[in-house]
Structure 1
Amino acid sequence: MPETTTVPELPPTAVMMQILAGFQTSQAAYVVAKLGIATILDQEGPKPVAELARRTGAQPEALRRLIRTLAPLGLFATDDDRVGITPLGATLSETHTRSLYDMACMWMETHYLPFSELLDGVRSGKPAAEKYYGQPILTWLAADPERAAQFTRAMAEVTSSLRTGMFDDYRLPAGRTVADIGGGDGSVLVELLTRSESDRQGIVFDQPNVTPEAEKAIAAAGLAERVEVVAGDFFAEVPTADIYVLGYILHDWDDASSRRILASIAAAASPGARLLVIEGMVPAGDTPHLTKAIDLTMLGMVTGKERGEQEYRELLDGAGFTVDRIVATPSPFSILEATLR
């Protein structure tokens, strides 16, 4: 029989060192994305380190050491001085079909430093980002069109990757007009409408600094005749529709703010209107789940939080909605269907 090699289990101190060093690894991955290293290798194949350094304005020895650190983590494959990108590393390419380039840049340029205030945030119960920026992160982002556009692109990247297969076997409830509230770049509504009857109409509703991205995406999908892009504030009022979609919205807000969003929908809708809440449902106990990692981001950056099924049921019930069913999907997200009483 062939001999098997047993990889020794790392001692707790070694595992903890890896956890504590995570901040360095995330910065290193960001550099690979920002310099365009991943994009060049993804598009053109393996290259010598010296050529990569010359084309990206990096110092050759520093870049060599960076690649040497990340290769064992699965981002690169090296052959002497030639470097190739792996499927994992290629996700940092700007042109990859499942690119996380904007997500890497957005996280490191807007989230990284605020997390230095996490200790204060846990003590005070207020977002670390609010202390770091002196204002809520969403307000800070909205003040700069470039930052807002980057955030929108990053959210589109991560949600499109994570929601793969989510709508494969899903059918929208009855209703002619579908409004995606806080719809970002409109990609969720595009997917729902392209899988639905051609007589359905759509509305993408978001802040004025976001709607230009939605207009581009709607036009690119060939849905400009069926979808209206509307700018506004979902805390004040929302358009009238038969079906409302809240995709990855409520987790950004605390319960009081979430109730205000739901109240805006209830004020615009008629009894019997349907609501689709697309969110991850936090499982009980120590079961690993993506929502538990995302909740750390929520804790550091916003007043929102990830919730479990019962928390969503109570939140919606208090706002006048009855939960009809919760649809599990192949993705980490579920679709919670509710009806306005």
Structure 2
Amino acid sequence: MNTERQSAARLIEESLGFLFPAALRAAAAVRVADHMTDGDESLERLAEATGTDARNLGRVLRLLATRGVVEETGAGRFRLTATGQALRSDAPHSARAAVLMLTDPTMWRPAGEMHRCLTEGGPAFTEIFGTPFFDHFARDAETAAVFHVGMAAMSDPENEPIAKAYEFPPTGTVVDVGGGHGGLLLEVLRQRPGLRGILHDQAHVLTGHRLGHEDITDRWSLSEGDFFSSVPSGDLYLLKRILHDWNDEQSATILRNCRRAMTPGGRVLVVDAVVPPGNEPHQSKTVDLMMMASLTGRERTEEDFTQLFKEAGLHLRRIVPTPTVLSVVEAVNAE
């Protein structure tokens, strides 16, 4: 096959790639992994357990087997692989809710109309759903639950290694800005028994917080509010996967509020991916397009963060890598 034909075949194959996450979503939706507990299972038993059509379930599993999520062990028989275990609802770090969130129509449909971002300059989400991303969630409790539970599932495996990667001070108050259910704050407080924590988010989000653990009793509080207006006073500010949701002007507003509220010598810790230079794959380059299609934000390079902090009266002091795709981008008062 000549080069031109190979190129065409390669691009066609890449264009079919969207069907793998579609199959992954289908498997997650019917909870098939929850029923794959006894080694290899027959399609008939799995279909009965999940209330699905055996032939079509087999077609989905056959594609998932090509990427190591399941393994076809014989005619009409499949078993879950080590990778696929994370699709189980009861897995220690289950990815099921994150899969359902990342492939939800609120993410899927704008990605399919990404050309709008190129021709119109803004997110495709607003045109499709008739309202900005977070406004839509405020009106739709069911979709909001999918997002917040999915984000928690996406974040949970990251939180402990992030908390260990950064050397938090032994004492002081940590404010988790837009911290959702408090997974990262929980791990930080566990690492440093002398720290106190404040989880700051909107009221409907805080109702799902997970800070009620005995090992951090009496060292945390909840703060209801809008980080575009103000944040509580503290020594360190955590912003995990927050700034990438918003454009530079909006992000600078959040950072200014943190700078105004923090105590002398305070620090802002932006926990986000830092887009690396070059042509190598990195999750930040993929997620950046999701931000473009559905929100107003973006993933940022080191230079982007430097400029953003400058606009907010802060100074980028260092970037601390973690074992995850995220880094801790540390900023201090520029004055």
TM over 0.5: yes
Matched, 1:316 2:276: no
Q: Give the match's secondary structure for 1:94.
A: coil
CA contact (8 A) 1:39 1:93 kept: yes
**Distance across 1 between alignment mates of 2:57 and 2:316:** 53
Counterpart of 1:244?
237
1:82 corresponding residue in structure 2: 77
SS, match of residue 176 in structure 2: strand
For 1:208, which of 203, 222, 227 is the aligned residue? 203
Q: Does 1:70 align with 2:57?
A: no
| CA offset digits 1:15-66 (Å, max 9, x no partner) | 322321122221111111110101211x443221001111111111111222
Task: Give the residue type in structure 2 aligned to 1:167.
Answer: A
**Which 4+ residue blocks in structure 1 deviate beyond 6 angstroms?**
none
Q: Deviations over 1:161-217 (max 9, x none)?
A: 345633334311465111000111101111111111x23110011111211121xx1
Q: Which residue of 1 aligns with 2:224?
A: 231
- Do the aligned residues in 2 keep the contact of 1:77 with 1:85 (CA within 8 Å)? yes
Residue in structure 2 matching 1:331, options 308, 324, 328: 324
Q: How does 1:1-341 map to 2 (within 5 A)?
A: 11-41=6-36, 43-78=37-72, 79-109=74-104, 110-162=106-158, 165-173=161-169, 175-196=171-192, 198-214=193-209, 217-220=210-213, 222-340=215-333, 341=335
CA distance in 2, matches of 1:187, 1:127: 29
CA–CA distance in 2 between the matches of 1:224 and 1:294? Answer: 36
TM-score by length of 1: 0.90
Q: Distance in 2 between matches of 1:258 and 1:64?
A: 46
Structure 1 CA distance for aligned equivalents of residues 110 and 318 of structure 2:
38
Percent identity, aligned pairs only, is: 32
Cα deviation for residue 135 of structure 1 reads 0.9
Residue identity in the other structure for 1:248: R
Between the aligned partners of 2:188 and 2:251, the Cα distance in structure 1 is 23
Cα distance in 2 for partners of 1:176, 1:73 equals 46
Structure 1 residue 247: Cα displacement: 1.0
**Aligned residues between the structures:** 328
AA at the equivalent of 1:116: G
| CA gap 1:175/1:262 in 2 versus in 1, 3 angstroms | farther
Q: Counterpart of 1:178 in 2: which secondary structure?
A: strand
Note the residue ranges of structure 1 that are not aligned, 5 or more in a row: 1-9
Q: Which moved more, 1:322-331 or 1:238-247?
A: 322-331
Cα deviation for residue 105 of structure 1 reads 1.2
Partner of 1:3: none
In structure 2, runs of 5+ residues without a counterpart are: none
- Tell me, yes or no, if the aligned pair for 1:173 and 1:274 is still in contact at 8 Å: no
TM-score by length of 2: 0.92
Q: 1:230 to 1:131 in 2, by over 3 A?
A: same
Structure 2: distance between partners of 1:221 and 1:71 = 42
Partner Cα separation in structure 2 for residue 40 and residue 166 of structure 1? 33
**One-letter code aligned to 1:158:** M
Output the CA distance in 2 between the equivalents of 1:221 and 1:125.
49
Does structure 2 conserve the Cα–Cα contact (< 8 Å) formed by 1:175 and 1:242?
no
In structure 2, C-alpha distance between the alignment counterparts of 1:306 and 1:257, rounded to whole Å: 14
Q: Which residue of 2 aligns with 1:4?
A: none
Per mean C-alpha deviation after superposition, the further-off stretch among 43-52 and 289-298 is 43-52
Q: Distance in 2 between matches of 1:230 and 1:123?
A: 40
CA deviation vs aligned residue, 1:98-132 (integer Å, no higher than 9, x gap):
21111121222221122232111221111111111
Q: Please say which of residues 83-92 and 11-20 is displaced more in the overlay.
A: 11-20
Distance in 1 between the 2:262 and 2:309 partners?
15
